A and B are shown apart, each in its own frame.
Chain A
């Protein structure tokens, strides 16, 4: 038996040599993609204006839309979207290269286009009618149309399916009443991907949810900005009073909204934080440099904390590559549940990073650094901002439930009284 296996192992050597499969290096096509992108970034980034203040929403919209238009003209908009919808049809690996190189070059983030490009757009491609796609997808890709997300509610957070915003049919309109929360970029958005309850309030909670396209100019929408612990106004609460939305704006069937909404969640976990790993690894180099300057580096405990975090982020980058390889070979390129492992460990490591930075800075961490100006990158602000990392896009506790139940196959926790 052993001999046969040894024979087999020898036979496979030749295949291994001919086709080196487990490789970190780019293929020639990937290398060309990377070099073209680098050249383009080198040429276009110096032409950008300075980034606007984080609280100036109109200026932020203008800045982010301009960047999206540049990407669109260069053929980098909707990189991983199918070519028939105006995307580039790039592979997940090319997408990863794009995120890596953009971050290394210091290119702008997706900004106010986040929901349109990462949530609403992919959902419309998968589920919308030809008219709806035609109306919205090219505009999202060009950066002409900004979207926000109306999913969470004050009483429906991790238990999103318990949402209670009502939509009642009135002729060829839905009349919507309710409250939404954590609505990013609502101030400048043109449309909102809105989840509403069309079924009975006491029916099965995952049924009776409907996905609507809500124009943000509709009468009856009131925005109340929520200030974060870091002092920025990233989110709003959105109050909806008798907002009339045409039935033609419904995506998919009435009552099918939960399934439609779930389509995009895996994407968010799979690639949503990828460029941040690159950012974190670079930040660590800066922290090491500061530590050398102020002599906290002499403390072996601090030095080793920095090193262990570098190890954590390097391992996370290796995990991203593996997840992307798996997505590339899965039907539809949907990231697998391994993305929950990444989200769980990255979000916690990110908080350790900001705490470590504060420890190296000592009492300097008690004041916002005026030289940084805006919020982005300011260490005290980032430390406060990262509080949300273990909460947004599925809390760490929800991720652990996903890993425990969907990957490891452990039984679900019984719901008291049977639930609904």
Chain B
């Protein structure tokens, strides 16, 4: 048993971080919102990450992928979360092991679970080449749908300005069946894990920004981070991010081991802790930044808006709690 990240995982995370560092990151203080292009995707960033192989991460080498596992994927998605990378990264990474044409990241794939209750919001629709749809009474089928054939209207004012939304006005009438109930189950579980990893990235970077600000902002003649009232907020942020990360890594390893019942509970555990860490840490970072935390220019609101949206993606807290309770 060795529960530390491997040198390879750290190198992979470092490589992804290097690429992300060469592009604009939403939420950077004092920067204007960039023009992100069609469907809200930074195409240059997408291409660089695709070149790095992030979409074929779990596809075997013989099929053009990197042959890694979930244990490596979560490191990549934590980095994406740290930089608030915007685009259908999760769904495209989920689709690649299923449909080999998506391995190289030249296509963008979305995913929508239409067994949830409406409204059905589709993210980045204008940037998608394909949409996977989970449907059937009990999530029995996965369909691949042509985005152009969908009847959907743009949502005029999405809360997260980085992620354009369309509201589906009619469920798709046709599509190619690409998976059954077990495929749907796997996609949702893996999606929950990658989303949790992304949320850990948000939780961690919010801790770092709050700590940096608390160390530099001076009131009453001293750094506010020297006051225990502020220091303890930061300590709790750190604890939340660390615990959520441990849960995410543990779930990733269990998924790689194909230990299905244990992995299902572990993924739900990871999603619950990571959602809570991302949302609460973002709120706390805003609190530590004081009045400036609430402003548009400080950019913290973008992390909060994303953390809220991701908390509702791939199963919300109550659904994962219900899944865990079945194992008790």
Q: Which residues of A are at the interface with B, using a C-beta cutoff of 8 A?
A: 1-3, 5-6, 8-10, 12-13, 15-17, 21-27, 30, 93, 284-285, 288, 300, 303-304, 306-308, 310-312, 314-319, 321-322, 324-326, 328-329, 338, 341, 344-345, 397, 399-401, 403-405, 407-414
Contacts and interface: CB of A to CB of B under 8 A. Distances in A.
Contacts of B53: 6, 9-10
Contact of B247 (A315, A326, A410): A315
A338 B266 CA distance: 21
A24 B254 contact: yes
B239 A344 contact: yes
Contacts of A26: 1
B231 A5 contact: no
Give the most central of B71, B238, B273, B322: most A CB within 10 Å. Answer: B238
Given A22-B249, A344-B239, A408-B211, A324 B226 contact: no
B176 interface: no
Contacts of A314: 247, 250, 265-266, 269
Contact of B235 (A8, A284, A408): A408
A407 B246 contact: no
Contact of A308 (B4, B67, B253, B272): B272
Contacts of B323: 307
Interface stretch (B6-14, B83-91, B153-161, B181-189): B6-14
Contacts of A399: 235
B2 A325 contact: yes
A336 to B, nearest CB: 11
A22 B253 contact: yes
A67 to B, nearest CB: 27
Interface in B158-186: none
7 contacts: A311-B268, A312-B243, A317-B250, A318-B249, A321-B1, A324-B3, A345-B243
A25 B1 contact: yes
B126 interface: no
B328 A9 contact: no
Interface in B4-28: 4-6, 8-9, 11-12, 15, 18-19
A345 B239 contact: yes
Mostly, the A contact residues are helix
A330 to B, nearest CB: 11
Contacts of B266: 314
B107 interface: no
B222 interface: yes
Give the most central of B273, B322, B328: most A CB within 10 Å. Answer: B328
Contacts of A2: 19, 48, 51-52
A17 B243 contact: no
Given A13-B68, A311-B273, 7 more contacts: A24-B3, A308-B321, A315-B250, A315-B273, A397-B232, A403-B235, A413-B226
A318 B2 contact: no
A312 B317 CA distance: 13
A3 B15 CA distance: 11
A106 to B, nearest CB: 20
Interface string B303-328: 00000000000000110111111011
B201 to A, nearest CB: 17
A27 B222 CA distance: 51
A24 B250 contact: yes
A137 B97 CA distance: 58
Contacts of B114: none
